[in-house]
């Protein structure tokens, strides 16, 4: 499966629609281990992205990611805005002038996004953040096993972790067995990728 500009735009459109649809649920997760704004934050960026695409569509593949980065950085706020924004921007940079991505290119691009989150968040896997969804999703994609089922398993596993980064870390032990809102929204990002096309095969 080759990722073209059209497919990438479908990916981000589906992601934005899912975020808007699950807004309440995401905020509910954040109400339990954070401050309850994750759904609202994310839906704001998602809505802005969808609206901007009704006026001007991206011309190049990297622009799809750049547009999303701009909306997340300027419109989302909280911790997640700059983190997702950085991820999308690093993905755009990794794409450069490429007009399409093969399976291996896609993995590298997603890894660049993942590294961007780590660097910007000064965080790593195991701290119960969005990274704990991105890491297993990348691993599944590398094995050609990225499915809705592996994403559910990844989120379930991240639930078991104790938060040591971000707002949820204030809860310490009490964050165990709760859903990290950023991991839940990241699951939507990879579900959107799956729905946009079959990315496990070549």
Residue with the shortest CB distance to Mg ion:
34
Considering only the stretches 13-21, 89-97, 122-130, 134-142, report the one whose residues sit in contact with ligand ADP under the rule CB under 6 A: 122-130
Residue 158 in the binding site for ligand ADP (CB under 6 A):
no
37-76 residues near Mg ion, rule: CB under 5 A? 37-38
Q: Which is nearer to ligand ADP, 58 or 75 (CB)?
A: 75
- How many Cβ atoms from other residues are within 10 Å of residue 120's Cβ? 17
Number of residues that bind ligand ADP (CB under 6 A): 23
Q: What is the dihedral of CA 33, 36, 39, 45, to 10 degrees?
A: -110
Residue 136 in the binding site for ligand ADP (CB under 6 A):
no
Question: What is the rounded CA–CA span in Å between residue 105 and residue 120?
Answer: 23
Q: Which is nearer to Mg ion, 98 or 120 (CB)?
A: 120
DSSP 162: P
- How many Cβ atoms from other residues are within 10 Å of residue 186's Cβ? 28
Question: What is the rounded CA–CA span in Å between residue 76 and residue 115?
Answer: 20
- 85 interacts with, out of Mg ion, ligand ADP, none, CB within 5 to 8 A per kind: none
- 165 interacts with, out of ligand ADP, Mg ion, none, CB within 5 to 8 A per kind: ligand ADP
Report helix, strand or coil for 199. Answer: coil
Q: Would the CA dihedral through 55, 58, 63, 65 be positive or negative?
A: positive
**Which of 11, 19, 30, 188 is close enough to bind Mg ion by CB under 5 A?**
30
> For the residues of 171-191, what is the DSSP string, one character each?
GGGGGTTS--HHHHHHHHHHH
| Residues within the interface to Mg ion (CB under 5 A) | 30, 34-35, 37-38
| Residues within the interface to ligand ADP (CB under 6 A) | 30, 34-35, 37-38, 41, 78-80, 83, 117, 121, 123, 129-131, 165-167, 180-183
């Amino acid at each position: 499966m080759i990722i073209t500009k059209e497919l990438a735009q479908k990916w981000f459109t589906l992601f934005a629609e899912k975020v808007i649809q699950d807004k309440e649920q995401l905020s509910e997760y954040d109400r339990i281990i954070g401050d309850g704004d994750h759904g609202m934050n994310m839906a704001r960026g998602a809505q802005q992205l969808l609206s901007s695409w009704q006026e001007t569509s991206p011309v190049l593949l990297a622009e799809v990611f750049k547009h999303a980065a701009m909306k997340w950085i300027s419109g989302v706020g909280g911790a997640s805005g700059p983190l997702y924004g950085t991820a999308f921007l690093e993905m755009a940079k990794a794409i450069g002038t490429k007009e399409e991505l093969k399976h291996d290119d896609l993995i590298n691009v997603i890894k660049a996004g993942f590294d961007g989150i780590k660097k910007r968040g000064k965080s790593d896997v195991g701290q119960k953040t969005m990274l704990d969804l991105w890491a297993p999703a990348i691993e599944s994609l590398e094995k050609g096993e990225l499915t809705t089922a592996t994403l559910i398993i990844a989120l379930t596993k991240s639930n078991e972790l104790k938060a040591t980064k971000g707002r949820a870390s204030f809860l310490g032990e009490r964050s165990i067995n709760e859903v990290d809102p950023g991991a839940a929204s990241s699951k939507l990002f990879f579900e959107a990728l799956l729905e946009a096309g079959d990315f496990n095969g070549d």
